[in-house]
Structure 1
Amino acid sequence: MVIEHFLRTHRSPKIMIYALHGALGQASDWNHLAVDLKAQNQRLAKIDLWQFLACCPMPLSKFGAAFNREVQDKSPVILGYSMGGRLALHALLDQPKRWRKAVIVSAHTGLPSSERSQRQAKDAEWAAKALKGHWEEFLQEWNEQSVLSGISMPDRSQLKKRREAVARSFMDWSVGAQDDLLPRLSGINCPVLWVVGERDTKFLEVAKQAVSVLQQGELCVVPDCGHRVPWEKPEIFSAKVQEFLEQ
């Protein structure tokens, strides 16, 4: 796994942060943050989530345990954006005492049961487009969603090579396939910084509810910002993460 390679090739840092990218994301999305944190003697392990789906299905119910088996540090920090934020929550809930701190960005805690089948059907459509559709048209349609307005992400042409894993993520890691985690968040006992953009109103409401039940939850609302906080407001995001880590 990428995690093992990273640990073999880096000396022990002040703090080790495991960063989980979003849907249609890639590990390199965290390059800017990695540079900022390195200046503070903090290392960022940029996790390639597609490796968890490279050969076979990986349901959300099993991801947390699978990921935690890869983590060797005694007191690590987990950071997850959007889909990666939901996956990070599963890792936290699987072993809440393992993690020193967590940063959750623009993530959903889960849908009511009445809405899940509709979301799964929509994500099945995305999966089909990712697997069989014209790649550039698929990317364009994905980025035209109103929730993702505000900034374009780096080139995703290389992800075409991983399209089977990307397609599988829309099935295995769909929010429609996820239990509502909100009632379980009180079981996370480490400090959690929940970051959300001010203009991302749907996820802002989710964030407020999540922070209200976490034992040590802190809400950070980034002004004049949408869903893609770490890339739309990178300086603000980096500064807030560093401040949180140093507390």
Structure 2
Amino acid sequence: MINLHAEFQDNGQEKTVILLHGFLNDRRSMAHIGSSLKQCANILSVDLPGFGESKSFGIDYTMDDIADALYAVQKKYDREHIQTYMLGYSMGGRAALSYACRYPSTLFGLILESASPGIEDSAEKKARIEIDDKRALEMVQDYPAFIQSWENMGLFNSQTEVDEQVFNEQRKARLSQIPKEAADSLRKYGTGVQPSYWDRLKSVDIPVLQLVGSRDEKFISINQRMNDSFPDAVLNIVDGAGHNIHLEVPEKFDTIVSEFINRRI
């Protein structure tokens, strides 16, 4: 069984937002989002398995087990009449989507930042698993070198344009993760090994906000297709941003998310 570390900030609001971080980071990377939302929501920040204070190594689990663990966390902090939203970035978006497919009635809204439902094609899945196994091995062998190569990926080119201090803080947070834990997480719920949720999107009958950066062409295509599959979804292509919208254009991101939450009464 997975035990997820979480921190709850009770702001005395009638809404709660659960924040799920991306790969190679932890709950701290979502802190400024929580700060911007505190005027309209309570904040529940979660460390996903393999990051921060949530363990992965030595535990047998799947993405569905993560969804169940998130449900347990939500119930622990749940209060009567609270409207719960879940916001997930990239890897956290995949976890949030898994949760929404499994427990849609527990959410008042779902916010997906640069997210994907997984890979449908079996050959593509196999190829991605092989890539992720190679990455996991590289992490354990030389973690700083892996972080450098990860930051040099085309997906993250636009992040080099953010404030130097912000970029360095992100690098420091990445380097603070435990290599064998991060590697283990990739093998257990990476994009290749996780289930494909494409055929289940139509069952997520709650308001969905999708955010994708205008410079993130791969995920624009994925999210456009997702938008056609959800019963009630809005796709916002955020101008000037790449994959990590909340890092690259935080004010735009906060405004879009706050407006979505505030209008869902």
- TM value normalised by structure 2: 0.85
- Which of residues 63, 67, 83 is equivalent to 2:91? 83
Q: How far off is 1:12 after superposition?
A: 4.2
The question of whether the paired residues in 2 share the 8 Å contact of 1:2 and 1:47 is answered with yes
How many aligned residue pairs are there?
A: 242
**Who is 1:10 aligned against?**
10
The question of whether the paired residues in 2 share the 8 Å contact of 1:197 and 1:225 is answered with yes
Which SS does the other structure have where 2:24 is aligned? coil
Q: How does 1:27-106 map to 2 (within 5 A)?
A: 27-38=27-38, 40-49=39-48, 50=51, 51-53=54-56, 55-72=58-75, 73=78, 75-106=83-114
In the aligned structure 2, how far is the partner of 1:93 from the partner of 1:60? 11
The question of whether the paired residues in 2 share the 8 Å contact of 1:18 and 1:76 is answered with yes
- CA 1:119/1:168 → structure 2, altered by over 3 Å: closer, same or farther? same
Q: Give identity over the alignment, percent.
A: 25
- The residue identity in structure 1 corresponding to 2:207 is P
Segments of structure 2 that go 5 or more residues without pairing to the other structure are 161-166
Q: How far off is 1:52 after superposition?
A: 5.0
The question of whether the paired residues in 2 share the 8 Å contact of 1:200 and 1:226 is answered with yes
In the aligned structure 2, how far is the partner of 1:168 from the partner of 1:246? 38
Which SS does the other structure have where 2:17 is aligned? strand
- Which of residues 220, 224, 230 is equivalent to 2:246? 230
Q: How far off is 1:10 after superposition?
A: 3.1
The question of whether the paired residues in 1 share the 8 Å contact of 2:144 and 2:175 is answered with no
In the aligned structure 1, how far is the partner of 2:29 from the partner of 2:213? 18
The question of whether the paired residues in 1 share the 8 Å contact of 2:114 and 2:213 is answered with yes
In the aligned structure 2, how far is the partner of 1:22 from the partner of 1:237? 16
Q: How far off is 1:131 after superposition?
A: 1.9
**1:116 corresponds to 2:125:** yes
**Who is 2:135 aligned against?**
126
**Who is 2:206 aligned against?**
190
In the aligned structure 2, how far is the partner of 1:117 from the partner of 1:68? 30
Q: How far off is 1:184 after superposition?
A: 0.5
In the aligned structure 2, how far is the partner of 1:158 from the partner of 1:25? 5
Q: How far off is 1:27 after superposition?
A: 1.0
In the aligned structure 1, how far is the partner of 2:173 from the partner of 2:262? 37
In the aligned structure 1, how far is the partner of 2:24 from the partner of 2:158? 17
Which SS does the other structure have where 1:87 is aligned? helix
**1:175 corresponds to 2:191:** yes
In the aligned structure 2, how far is the partner of 1:52 from the partner of 1:240? 33
- TM value normalised by structure 1: 0.91
Task: Compute the RMSD of aligned alpha carbons.
Answer: 1.8
Q: How far off is 1:244 after superposition?
A: 0.1
| Structure 1 range deviating more: 70-79 or 142-151 | 70-79
**Who is 1:204 aligned against?**
220
**Who is 2:232 aligned against?**
216
Q: How far off is 1:155 after superposition?
A: 3.0
- The residue identity in structure 2 corresponding to 1:140 is Q
The question of whether the paired residues in 2 share the 8 Å contact of 1:64 and 1:93 is answered with no
**Who is 2:25 aligned against?**
25
In the aligned structure 1, how far is the partner of 2:92 from the partner of 2:177? 20
The question of whether the paired residues in 2 share the 8 Å contact of 1:57 and 1:168 is answered with no
